[in-house]
Amino acid sequence: MFRGRLALVTGGGSGIGRAVCCLLAQRGARVLVADLNLEAANATLALLQEPSGGAEHRALHMDVGCPQSVKNAFENFEGARGEQASIVVNCAGILLPPKPFMDLGVDEFDLMLRVNLRGTFLVTQAAVLSMLRQKVTGGSIVNISSAAARATRPGLAAYSATKAAIACFVRSAAADAASSGIRINAVAPCMTDTPMVKAFNEAQRSKFVAGIPMGRAAMPDEVAAVVAFLCGPDSAFVTGTTVDVNGGA
């Protein structure tokens, strides 16, 4: 499905990002695994099915909240190598341990804004500009929102705000890019079995799962499958949309 296409995945070192990297590689894409933790990115790299034609997957460092880091990453494959990334998936994100917003420090709030929202903006903007420069056809960008964007979740005011903002950003950004043939969408998973859920204690995890009609957390590969759909030709007329992956929650 993705043979001959280059996919950049941020947050590819673990969780949903790692699952997305593995699935896109399995379906023929050449993958750039981007992560703040280069060691984790290289660990994902070791799991990927080798692409055909002698091409290689690569790992690269990226701090999504830093404009220069994002710029450097795109210049690395676009300028120096002359490569075109027609698929970009923003999985980089953080979740701090839940606490009432009255107890939330400004630095904690700003950190979640920096990674979850600013990072999504910077990478999406850089991706669209890169696709326009290189006249990419069929470009697709997928961001990660969350079921928490709409659900009532005590202790998650900052996280929920960033994820709701991503869904709003996607709608408007997609309208801006649509005339160029570039699609921008998002997925909104419920609690997913990734290292991020370690921010919750066992009682909190059980409470969240109890609110999911299917009775369990999502698995990373289940979220990755929906991401892959949004990256591929079967969703060619889908843009500005956030797809729930939430077990009916």
Catalytic residues: 159
Output phi, psi for 188, to 5 deg: -125, 85
Q: CA 61, CA 72: separation in Å to the nearest integer?
A: 9
58-61 β-sheet, strand order: 58-61, 30-35, 6-10, 85-90, 140-144, 183-189, 242-245
The answer to whether residues 144 and 116 touch, using CB atoms and an 8 Å cutoff, is: no
Of the chain, the end-to-end C-alpha distance in Å amounts to 31
Closest CA to 169 of 124, 135, 130: 124
E-strand stretches of 104-221:
140-144, 183-189
